[in-house]
Amino acid sequence: MFEYRITKYDPANRDPTGVYLLNTWTSRSDIGKVFDGALLTPEEYNRFEEACIATAVAFLQESGCKALTVNGLECHRETPPFQDGDSLSVPQIAEAISGMLREEYWCRLEWSDAYIHIGYDYYMYLGVMKHCPNAIAFACENGLFVEPFESPYKALN
């Protein structure tokens, strides 16, 4: 399996233990706050959210994955948009990622040949069975960083 950590964080700004060294936003709730002299606007936040979602979709499409299953749903809304065990199509996966990035709920999206896990501080972990050079290039072109990395949420299975 090809496994990645996909983030907005440049690996060049990490210390030897992997800690990110720059002061930057980590959540939608940071909109309106200033980081290193720059205001996080809704437009800037949306640009990164859309890049994350489009990157995940690009990986799924290039790898041939058509659906993922919801596992371990934790919902912070009155009515969850789906239930634990539901199978989500790629368009539904895109909506689910948006909700997770906005911290409305959390779950693992998994299948035998792929997964997407959204972690704290805007980290996305993704695994697919096929190398996806076009999806990697797409992510980089959209300001994201793709690093080989196994999801820490796999252990929750």
Would you call 141 helix, strand, or coil by DSSP?
A: helix
Would you call 129 helix, strand, or coil by DSSP?
A: coil
Q: What is the mean pLDDT of residues 72-76?
A: 89
- pTM confidence score: 0.92
Give residue 76's pLDDT: 76
Please provide the DSSP assignment of 66-119 as one string: -EEEEEEEEE-SSS-SS-TT-EEEHHHHHHHHHHHHTTSEEEEEEETTEEEEEE
Q: 139-149, pLDDT tens digit by residue? A: 999 999 999 99
Residue with tokens 């634990």: 84
Tell me the average pLDDT of the chain: 94
